[in-house]
A and B are shown apart, each in its own frame.
Chain A
Amino acid sequence: MARRHARVGYGLPTLLAVGLHVLVLLISVISLPASDREPQPSSIVQATLVSTETVTDQAQRAEAARQRALARQAEEQREAEEQARQAEEQAAAQEAQREAQQEVKEQALDEARQAAEAEAARRSEEAEAETRRLEQQRQAEEEARREREAEAQRREAEEIERQRQAEEQRREEEAARQREAEEQARREEEAARQREAEEQARREEEAARQREAEEQARREEEAARQREAEEQARREEEAARQREAEEQARREAEAARQREQAEAEMQRLIEGADERVANAQQGQQAANDFIALVRQAVEQAWRIPPNVSSGATAEISVRLGPSGELFVAEISRSSGDSAFDRSAVQAVEAAAPFAELRQLPAGVQRDYRQFNLRFRPGDVR
């Protein structure tokens, strides 16, 4: 919008404004009473209507009117008659309809009754057939029962026979066993007697051998004394030779020791490295144990609230102190279910402190003071 920079005096505009307002007031005042009055139909033109028709015209028109009236009357009469006729016809038709309907109804009822009777007959037949079938079934069942009873009796008799036979067999077997036992006793007695005789023979042989052995011992003693004397002489010779050999050995040993020392130093360097590897392996094992322990403790302490939706997952980030005490356990990813989230945090809080942290190798402990736990129950209803 363009701004007008020209200065405008305030006198004229106020006057015009006031004048406008006064005008508006006047108009409204004037029009108010006017709107209360009912709007009156005002005629634009004032005049009286004069007919341009002549008398004869009128008479003619009257005749025509009369004729028309007569015609109309005649028509009306005709229409009335027609209507009467139609009404009669309709009445007749309705009567005919009613009669026809009644006939049809009666027919239908008859048919229905017939059908019913036929149905009834059919049903009684079916019922009879059913009873026959039932009878037959009963008879068949009876027969079956009789058969079963006969069978049962037969089986009983068989059983009794079998039992008798079994008894007999047992008696026979017993007798046989007794006879065998007696025989065995006899055989054992004989064997015992034989053994005794053999023993006596052995004892006599042994006595003879002993005497021979004593004689031999005396001869050997003499021989031994002779050999000793020879031996002494040889020992003294040997001692002299040994002293010489020892001196030589000492000189060689010194040289060997020096070599060994050099080798041992090398080995120590190598072993140091191996140890570090072994330590590392032990550390990993301990860490796995620690993780398993944390999992087990948290699972035991976790109380899953009801109405958890399937697939709910919450992640808790955990920070432990140097002795495994809980510093921080907070929700790093919510499951959307506040009760579920809180139950997870509680599980960690209740499972803490994890004192087993201290059992990890010193260099590894720091690595396991911070970890995440993902809570996702298997198949919650």
Chain B
Amino acid sequence: MQFKPYARSLAVALSLALVAGCSSTGGTQDGSMDGTRDGSGASSTGVSDGRASGSGYGGTAGASGQQADGRIPQQRTIYFEFDSDRIRTEFEPVLAANARYLRENGNARVVLQGHTDERGTREYNMALGERRARSVEQFLSVQGVSPSQVEVVSYGEERPAARGQNEEAFAQNRRVVFAY
């Protein structure tokens, strides 16, 4: 076996490896969001340490239990903080559960519906809703979900879950919904 041709290909392989390494950590999110979050929460036993989350909706207590393979996960909504598309720690188990379901059921399709609260202009909120849904999409892809199973749609402030001009209603509307 000659060494020369292999040397060339090895060099190419090494450089490609470097590039691949760079792209799988970090992320394409804006500098203001923490990109390091994407790499975390990848293990299937979940990062949740059984602590109840501060919000009252979509609580994660007991979410570390294993879901049966064929059933769509029960928790299908995650909530966000104001002006943010950061995935909150307490919802990572929900995402993990949905990710597992999608990985194990290659024919399943999900539409990530992004929503915002009603403050601000409508078209800008459309874009914010899309950002949130894309943030979830990225999380899923890092978890190994195939992109062909995931689609992103933003509804902005157009489909509120709760009405009212108070913090409670707003918090219930800032969400991404897994629509199977």
Contact = CB atoms under 8 A, between A and B. Distances in A.
A136 interface: no
Given A93-B12, A97-B12, A116 B17 contact: no
A124 B12 CA distance: 42
A94 to B, nearest CB: 8
Contacts of B49: 120, 124, 127
A116 B21 contact: no
A104 B21 contact: yes
B51 interface: yes
Interface stretch (B1-9, B73-81, B101-109): B1-9
B34 to A, nearest CB: 11
A115 interface: yes
A111 B36 CA distance: 13
Nearest to B50: A124
A108 interface: yes
Contacts of A89: 5-6, 9
Given A100-B13, A108-B24, A116 B51 contact: no
A116 B25 contact: no
Given A104-B17, A127-B51, A93 B6 contact: yes
Interface in B21-53: 21, 24-25, 36, 39-43, 47, 49, 51
B89 A100 contact: no
B16 interface: yes
B42 A109 contact: yes
B179 interface: no
B14 interface: yes
Given A100-B17, A101-B17, A104-B20, A116 B12 contact: no
Contact of A113 (B8, B12, B36, B43): B43
Interface residues of B, number: 25
Which DSSP category, helix, strand, loop or mixed, fits chain B's interface?
Answer: helix
Contacts of B161: none
A112 interface: yes
Contacts, number: 72
B40 A120 contact: yes
B162 interface: no
Interface string A95-138: 01100110111011101110111011001100100000000000
Given A108-B21, A123-B89, A127-B49, A116 B13 contact: no
B92 to A, nearest CB: 10
A381 to B, nearest CB: 24
Contact of A116 (B8, B24, B41): B41
Nearest to B44: A113
Contact of B39 (A101, A105, A112): A112
Interface in A214-267: none
Contacts of B5: 89, 92-93
Contacts of A119: 36, 40, 47
Nearest to B46: A120
Contacts of B61: none
Interface in A63-97: 89-90, 92-94, 96-97
A116 B42 contact: yes
B13 A97 contact: yes
A97 B47 CA distance: 33
A92 B9 contact: yes
Given A116-B43, A119-B40, A120-B47, A96 B13 contact: yes
Contacts of B39: 112, 115-116
A6 to B, nearest CB: 85
A111 B6 CA distance: 28
Contacts of B10: 93, 96
Given A93-B5, A96-B6, A105-B20, A112 B12 contact: no
A97 B9 CA distance: 8
A22 to B, nearest CB: 76
B9 A116 contact: no
A3 to B, nearest CB: 77
A114 to B, nearest CB: 10
A100 B17 CA distance: 7
Given A104-B17, A123-B89, 11 more contacts: A93-B13, A96-B6, A97-B12, A97-B13, A100-B13, A100-B17, A101-B16, A107-B21, A108-B21, A112-B142, A116-B43
22 contacts: A89-B6, A89-B9, A92-B9, A93-B5, A97-B9, A97-B16, A100-B13, A101-B13, A101-B20, A104-B17, A104-B21, A108-B25, A112-B39, A112-B40, A113-B42, A116-B40, A116-B43, A116-B47, A119-B40, A120-B49, A123-B47, A124-B49
| 5 smallest beta-carbon distances between A and B, as pairs | A93-B9, A116-B40, A97-B13, A89-B5, A100-B13
